């Protein structure tokens, strides 16, 4: 046989958890044909001696919905051996969308996923209205990676209810229309639907994101669409107090599982210093739900964010901050000076949510005013002590002194890395939460796959290579019914991550680049040790360089 591609002499880790083996792999027409000793000629041969050959990694939690319009290789995920991304998470998206409401959809992304409006305004192509048209548009543009789509409920509700979607539940008639649109999306290939109940998620003009207003009867109807079709998964952001589920959230998970008969993955289980036992307690208390298909998402990285008060995402779950969103800096500054606002902020901090109010962890990272340069690297609490002022007031005063340009870093979750292994090794969880494409100048966790392999497999030896690869290939693929990817076996798609185990990895902190539409800035995390990212049998990246090929496919449920 003449192969299109032969990968020779590699150490194959097939994604099932089976022991690694030395083997060749033969590929024809984007499909794995042979695994073992491959004889015959090939158009292209890659010598993988001393390298690991794994299935391409599958990222289950991204927000590349807009970015795929201007970035046909979906960076930085592609740098890290990811070959398939699933987007449309957390109930926010950009399809379906009528032409006259595009600005509202964009502002939803600004507020929930912290993507600058100017970037969206310049970069989103808007060459669709319906959800099937959105998927078709992605297919026409072409892609380096395989793209999977979840139907985010917010644009569906807005498409039917208009701006009232941010104010009320749908009527039975409206629910039936939304269910019909969701069925249409699923029949076109959507992999399920997503929603959120997190107070952090606010939309246009600081109002609740539309899907947060969906009633139980609505959610039952939408779940029934998946049940009737017999495919798809549900993703939902639940926990306002991360890792702690309240009784209402348990009831909601139970209802979604019962009405859909499908897997339900929720956000999130993370370690935080003020409640270190919460993740394990939640796993114990949710044992019955977990057996029925509930699957909490975890991350293998410490979560550190970079913030400024022009985009105060970190405080979105505090109602007193709503007037700060989508306002010019002059109006924001006026609000931050107001004593009534400060009093309300101080009161809100008495019940820590995502932001815990630990000002010793708020570090001054960047300044616009050169006179403030001596403060770089200082934490807000120490500056407040030096000034003889309250830390919260000092935080706001510092931002005002720098015309709201001052950037702070804040370590949100998983700061005690010794507690991460108990979650990433637990078979009742799924590793994800990269948020690729979102929070672009705040944090970048899209390198979680290489961090898992470098930090937790090689350096700290908390799990085997075989187990780690299974966790980021077969398991997320199975969640969304992607049957022909995530494993290395004859007859499956030829997606591979080929890496040097001695060098693979990524850093905790990203680097800032100005490569978004209009010169917008974003944090990215470069990859180390990934020698090849191969998609459908064609190298997309070789030794960190873009080959120019665009072999990705739009994956459609029931056919993926």
Report the run of H or E that residue 340 belongs to, with start and end: helix 339-348
> How many CB atoms neighbour CB 532 within 10 A?
20
| Extents of the domains making up the chain | 56-302+414-462, 306-412
Report the run of H or E that residue 53 belongs to, with start and end: strand 52-55
- For the CA atoms of 278, 239, 111, 518, what is the dihedral angle to 10 degrees? 60
Per-residue pLDDT tens over the stretch 251-270: 999 999 999 999 999 998 88
The residues with which 53 forms a beta bridge, in sequence order, are 12, 498
Q: What is the pLDDT of residue 241?
A: 61
Q: What is the pLDDT of residue 458?
A: 98
- For the CA atoms of 306, 307, 312, 313, what is the dihedral angle to 10 degrees? 0
Among 63-67, 147-151, 270-274, 346-350, the minimum mean pLDDT is found in 270-274
Strands across the sheet containing 146-149: 57-59, 82-87, 146-149
Q: How do 57-59 and 82-87 pair as beta strands?
A: parallel
Flag whether pLDDT at 126 surpasses 80.
yes
Among 33-37, 80-84, 301-305, 502-506, the minimum mean pLDDT is found in 301-305
Flag whether pLDDT at 169 surpasses 90.
yes
* pLDDT band, residue 560 (cuts 50/70/90): low
Q: What is the pLDDT of residue 311?
A: 83
Per-residue pLDDT tens over the stretch 409-444: 887 777 788 899 999 999 999 999 899 998 887 778
Report the run of H or E that residue 348 belongs to, with start and end: helix 339-348
- How much is the average pLDDT of 137-166? 97
Among 147-156, 401-410, 467-476, the minimum mean pLDDT is found in 401-410
d(CA 418, CA 397): 35
Per-residue tokens: 58: 């599958």
Helix runs in 194-272, H state only? 216-229, 247-260
CB contact at 8 A, 383 and 390 = no
Flag whether pLDDT at 390 surpasses 80.
yes
Q: What is the pLDDT of residue 271?
A: 83
- How much is the average pLDDT of 1-14? 96
d(CA 434, CA 448): 7
Per-residue pLDDT tens over the stretch 326-343: 789 999 999 999 999 999
> How many CB atoms neighbour CB 277 within 10 A?
10
Flag whether pLDDT at 388 surpasses 70.
yes
Nearest to 200 by CA among 150, 157, 237, 250: 237
d(CA 209, CA 317): 12
- How much is the average pLDDT of 33-56? 96
Residue labelled with tokens 């595009």: 102
Q: What is the pLDDT of residue 356?
A: 76
pTM over 0.85: yes
CATH fourth-level superfamily of 56-302+414-462: Metal-dependent hydrolases (3.20.20.140)
Q: What is the pLDDT of residue 535?
A: 98
Q: What is the pLDDT of residue 240?
A: 58
């Amino acid at each position: 046989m003449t192969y299109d591609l032969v990968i020779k002499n590699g150490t194959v880790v097939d994604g099932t958890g089976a022991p690694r083996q030395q083997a060749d792999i033969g590929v024809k027409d984007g499909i794995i044909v042979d695994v073992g000793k491959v004889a015959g000629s090939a158009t292209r041969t890659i010598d993988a001696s001393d390298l690991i050959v794994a299935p391409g990694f599958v990222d289950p939690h991204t927000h590349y919905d807009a970015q795929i319009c201007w970035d046909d290789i979906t960076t930085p995920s592609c740098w890290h051996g990811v070959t398939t991304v699933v987007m449309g998470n957390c109930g926010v998206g950009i399809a379906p969308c009528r032409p006259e409401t595009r600005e509202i959809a964009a502002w939803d992304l600004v507020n929930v996923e912290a993507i600058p409006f100017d970037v969206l305004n310049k970069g989103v192509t808007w060459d669709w209205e319906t959800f099937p048209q959105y998927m078709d548009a992605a297919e026409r543009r072409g892609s380096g990676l395989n793209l999977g789509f979840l139907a985010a409920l917010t644009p569906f509700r807005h498409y039917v209810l208009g701006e009232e979607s941010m104010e009320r539940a749908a009527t039975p008639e409206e629910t039936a229309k939304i269910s019909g649109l969701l069925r249409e999306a699923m029949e076109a290939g959507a992999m399920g639907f997503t929603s959120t109940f997190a107070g952090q998620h606010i939309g246009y003009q600081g109002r609740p994101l539309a899907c947060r207003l969906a009633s139980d009867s609505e959610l039952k109807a939408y779940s029934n669409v998946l049940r009737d079709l017999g495919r798809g998964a549900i993703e939902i952001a639940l926990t306002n107090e991360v890792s702690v589920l309240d009784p209402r959230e348990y009831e909601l998970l139970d209802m979604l599982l019962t009405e859909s008969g499908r897997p339900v993955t929720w956000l999130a289980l993370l370690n935080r210093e003020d409640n270190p036992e919460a993740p394990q307690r939640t796993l114990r208390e949710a044992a019955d739900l977990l057996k029925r298909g509930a699957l909490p998402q975890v991350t293998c990285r410490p979560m550190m964010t970079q913030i400024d008060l022009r985009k105060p995402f970190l405080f979105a779950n505090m109602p007193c901050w709503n007037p700060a969103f989508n306002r010019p800096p002059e109006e924001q500054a006026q609000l931050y000076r107001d004593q009534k606002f400060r009093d309300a902020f101080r009161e809100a901090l008495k019940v820590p949510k995502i932001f815990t109010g630990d000002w010793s962890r708020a570090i001054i990272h960047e300044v616009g005013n050169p006179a403030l340069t001596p403060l770089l690297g200082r934490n807000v609490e120490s500056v407040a002590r030096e000034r003889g002022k309250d830390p919260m007031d000092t935080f706001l005063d510092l931002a005002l002194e720098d015309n709201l340009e001052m950037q702070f870093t804040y370590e949100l979750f998983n700061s005690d890395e010794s507690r991460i292994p108990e979650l990433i090794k637990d078979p009742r969880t799924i590793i994800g939460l990269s948020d690729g494409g979102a929070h672009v100048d705040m944090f970048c966790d899209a390198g979680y796959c290489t961090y898992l392999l470098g930090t937790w497999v090689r350096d700290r030896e908390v799990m085997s290579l075989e187990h780690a690869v299974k966790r980021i290939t077969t398991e997320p693929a199975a969640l969304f019914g992607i049957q022909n990817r995530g494993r290395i076996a004859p007859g499956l798609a030829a997606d591979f991550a080929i890496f040097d185990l001695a060098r693979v990895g990524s850093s905790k902190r990203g680097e800032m680049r100005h490569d978004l539409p209009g010169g917008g800035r974003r944090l990215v995390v470069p990859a180390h040790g990934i020698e090849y990212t191969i998609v459908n049998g064609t190298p997309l990246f070789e030794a960190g360089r873009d080959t120019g090929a665009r072999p990705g496919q739009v994956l459609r449920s029931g056919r993926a």
